[in-house]
Amino acid sequence: AQSVSQHNHHVILSEAASLELGCNYSYGGTVNLFWYVQYPGQHLQLLLKYFSGDPLVKGIKGFEAEFIKSKFSFNLRKPSVQWSDTAEYFCAVNVKGNNRLAFGKGNQVVVIP
Amino acid sequence: DTAVSQTPKYLVTQMGNDKSIKCEQNLGHDTMYWYKQDSKKFLKIMFSYNNKELIINETVPNRFSPKSPDKAHLNLHINSLELGDSAVYFCASSQVPVIDNSPLHFGNGTRLTVT
């Protein structure tokens, strides 16, 4: 079945550590890729997106993600996290031309000061 | 200036009751959505409307009925509430129905608890 997979649901790390969250999808065809962030008690906000072009995408707050088509992956990275990065991170995939956005199950990230 | 606003933020009710959740967006978007986030944080689309027309209707019990009086509003009415309906419901909007170049903007969510 078509799906979006995020592993390591719970991630705990210290400030200044590097963060990498994996996202794999199983959809065929051309896709649009997104990472959304949900801070505690808040709504989902777009962190970054990939539609076409350079597979390395830079988003807000120092986050970046790399689309590797051969691996069906769109991993999120941040070289040095801050306490304020504590949040839930969701990968989402949209097949181009379709208005459905499929979400992964999220990664709960806790950054310890 | 809230872009996508939902009310209420919290809703606690008993099984069998009927309740509604309201959503409004002031972004001028044509398309609105309802997503359900279950206890495991899994987000799944329920409905989508484009210019008041239903365009996505996933496998959702017919106790759930969306209503779009105009393109800025998409309300969700739930009849005969069940324990399994407890979840966080997110409203979202996008400029056009095709998500290419048109990311979703989400509301703050409505936490529904059925007792």
Chain A hits for B44, CB-CB cut-off 8 Å, are 103
User: Tokens representing A6?
Assistant: 């995020």
State how far the Cα of B43 lies from the Cα of A40, in Å rounded to an integer. Answer: 16
Query: pLDDT tens digits for A41-94?
Result: 888 899 999 998 999 999 999 999 999 999 999 999 999 999 999 999 999 998
Beta strands B53-57; B43-50: pairing state: antiparallel
Query: ω into residue B8 within 30 of 0, thus cis?
Result: yes
- 10 Å Cβ neighbour count for B58? 14
Which of B4, B100, B101, B102 to mutate to probe the A interface, most A CBs <10 Å? B100
For residue A102, the chain B residue with the least C-alpha distance is B44
Contacts of A36 in chain B (CB under 8 A): 106
Tens digit of each residue's pLDDT (9 = 90 or more) over A6-54: 987 899 999 999 999 999 999 888 899 999 999 988 888 999 999 989 9
Rounded Cα distance between B3 and A109, Å, is: 26
